[in-house]
Structure formats: C-alpha cells, structure tokens
Copies of this chain bind each other. A is one copy, B any other.
Amino acid sequence: MNKKDTLELLEKIKSGQMSPEDVLARLCTEPFEDLGYAKPDHHRELRQGIPEIIYGAGKTPEQIVGIGSAMLDKGQRLILITRLSPEVASAVSKNLCLNYHSIARIGVIGETPAPDGIGKIVIATGGTSDIPVAEEAAITAETLGNSVVRLYDVGVAGLHRLLSKIGDITDAQVVISIAGMEGALTSVIGGLVDCPVIGVPTSVGYGASFNGLSALLSMLNSCASGVSVVNIDNGFGAGYLASMINHRRGY
C-alpha cells in the first residue's frame, strides 16, 4: 500500500466517508489470504508487477490446488508453479488447468503473454546435463513476457562452440549463464558482453564439485564485470531477474 493509497484513505475520514476505526481496520487488513498452511499474496501483482509464484517443492497437491484456487478466485490470470514433480503435476491438473513443462518441472496456469521486453534473453549452458535448470529459467522468462534464445552445450572446453554463437550473445539484453563443475562459462561470457550476466551454478558434476559449490565459488570470483550469481540450480530466480532487467524503463 503506497503513500497515495494511504492518503486517499485518510481523506475519507476527513470527508466522513469512513470512520477512523474502519480506516485502521483497512490499514491492518491482510493483503493476503490466510489458508492456515500458507498466506497467498493477492496484491503482489500490483506491488511487484508480476504474477504469483508457487514454490511447489514440499507442498502436497491439495495445498497447491488450494493456493492456486484462492489466487484464481481473486482474479489472478497467470500462475507459475516451480519444482513440480510429474506425480504432483498430474494430481494438480485434475483440479486446475495446468500446462506442465516436464524438463523444467514447471506448471503454468494461464496464457503465456507475448514478449514485451526491451530485447532478448540468452540462456547458455556448459553441458547437456545443465538443460533442466536452463529450461526452468527459460520457461520462467517466457511466461513473464520475454523472448528467449537457447544456447545449450557451449562449455569452454570447446571454446569454438561458444564463439560461433558470438552474435547471439552480444545481441542479448541479459545473459543467463548456467554451468556445473568448474563454472568457467560465466567468466568467459562476462568478458565477451557488455550486458548483465546472471550466473547459475548447477549441482551437475561429481567429486570435488561438492554438489555445485565449485561452480558457485567460481562464479562469485569471476573477474569479468557485470556478473552476479543466484543459488545453485536456481533457474527460476535467474529467469525472473533477467525478466526484470529486460523490462527496465525510465519514467
């Protein structure tokens, strides 16, 4: 609730339209619904400009249906459910009209909008095994109204694969660079472009990759400017942030 809204409320006291008690009640009214096990946030679209996200991991199909239904009832038209296993997706889709992306493990309720960002988001992966994380980012970004270019399996051990795509990369508004193991892809891309690069370390690898720690540290230490990092395997977070950057505009 912003200053303008508050001012309008207060004006209503002055004009006698509302009592002080009622205004106070409104000020304390929950802008979310309390389902007991969760508090879906119906004003979020307004406050943050984007659809509500349901983090599916660790929720039962019943809880997801409950939260999703409450959102739809309030008029939400686009819902993203992340970390959704095929089994839970299948159970949820009995009650809600769900478009399930199995590699990304994302369910979408509602229609993906036409891209309206400034430019394109490039999503690059070091290897084939990083694709599920990349798809989580890609589906997220597309659902949020972005045009996405996928460049998969362009890891630095075969640098020409990356360099042959140099045109796509330098055209990007944002690059999401996804890699496990040594995570060097992010530094190399960071040195080639002049747009923000979001590094997503993945848990792909074995031994001294320590479930993504190696790639995480590598990306955090990138010498290239313009690089920042999200959590290991957090494709959603990267896609969401990339969309934000791709929709920045002055006032």
A237 contacts across to B, CB distance below 8 A: 225, 227-228
Smallest Cβ-Cβ distance to A125: which chain B residue: B37
Please tell me if A142 contacts chain B, counting CB pairs below 8 Å: no
Interface flags for A1-42 (1: CB within 8 Å of B; 0: not) read 111001100110110000111011001111110001111010
Interface residues of A in 190-204 (CB under 8 A from B): 190-196, 198, 201, 203-204
Stretch among A89-97, A106-114, A155-163 lining the B interface: A155-163
CB atoms of B227 and A220 under 8 A apart: no
A205 interface contact, C-beta 8 A? yes
A155 cross-chain contacts in B, Cβ below 8 A: 223
Whether the pair B225, A218 counts as a contact (CB closer than 8 A) is: no
Q: Is the CB of B216 within 8 A of A208?
A: yes
Q: Does A128 sit within 8 A of B, measured CB to CB?
A: yes
* Bound-state Cα–Cα, A226 to B157, Å: 11
Q: Is A44 an interface residue (CB 8 A)?
A: yes
Assess whether A245 is interfacial by the CB under 8 Å rule.
yes
In the complex, are the beta carbons of A218 and B170 less than 8 A apart? Answer: no
A188 proximal to B (CB < 8 A) = yes
Shortest Cβ distance from residue A78 to the other chain B in the assembled complex, whole angstroms: 15
A158 and B32 contact, Cβ closer than 8 Å, known pairs A14-B14, A20-B13, A39-B153: yes
Q: A31-B160, A39-B158 are in contact. List 13 more A-B contacts (CB 8 A).
A: A3-B24, A3-B167, A38-B152, A39-B153, A59-B129, A158-B191, A183-B218, A195-B244, A207-B232, A207-B234, A208-B217, A208-B232, A216-B220
8 Å CB interface, A212-251 against B: 212-234, 237-238, 240-241, 244-246, 248-251
Whether A10 pairs with B23 at a CB distance below 8 angstroms is yes
Using CB atoms, name the residue of chain B closest to A164. B30
A68 contacts partner chain B, Cβ-Cβ < 8 Å: no
Q: Shortest beta-carbon distance, A34 to chain B, in Å? A: 8
Question: Cβ of A248 and Cβ of B118 under 8 Å apart?
Answer: yes
Q: Are A250 and B119 in contact (CB under 8 A)?
A: yes
Task: Determine if A143 is an interface residue (Cβ-Cβ < 8 Å).
Answer: no
Q: How distant is A170 from chain B, measured CB to nearest CB, in Å?
A: 7
A-B contact pairs, 24 of them (CB 8 A): A7-B20, A7-B21, A14-B14, A28-B164, A30-B160, A30-B161, A37-B153, A41-B161, A48-B225, A59-B128, A118-B248, A157-B187, A157-B222, A182-B187, A182-B222, A196-B248, A207-B216, A207-B220, A208-B213, A208-B221, A215-B218, A227-B230, A228-B241, A245-B245
